[in-house]
Amino acid sequence: MQKHIIKYLSSIGKKGGLKSRRSLSSSTAKKMVKVREAKKLFNKYYHQCFWSFDPHYKIKFEDVTWVAEQLMKNGDRELWKLGVKLCH
């Protein structure tokens, strides 16, 4: 490889290893993780627990408890456990 290509690849690889410039509080980061998990569970178990709701509904932090409740109410034992885990 040519030296300028090696230098370029080295510089862009270095950027990936640098600490993120975005600063998030730990509580905000935890909220983001809960929302992401709730979205995954909503999509994965839509037909089993959320079939009467809009399939394109955008889950927000305020909906995390609702998703957990629906999993525990309409799902089996495994989904109940996932709902409990989502609440904590």
Tokens linked to 80: 């109940």
pLDDT at 68 over 90: yes
pLDDT tens readout for residues 47-63: 999 999 999 999 999 99
Q: What is the largest CA-CA distance in the chain?
A: 62
Question: What CA–CA distance (Å, rounded) separates 1 from 5?
Answer: 7
pLDDT at 11 over 90: no
- Taking a C-beta distance cutoff of 8 angstroms, is the pair 86, 37 a contact? yes
Nearest to 42 by CA among 58, 28, 31: 58
pTM: 0.72
pLDDT mean over 17-27: 72
pLDDT at 49: 95
How far, rounded to the nearest angstrom, does the alpha carbon of residue 72 sit from its chain's CA centroid? 19
pLDDT at 21: 63
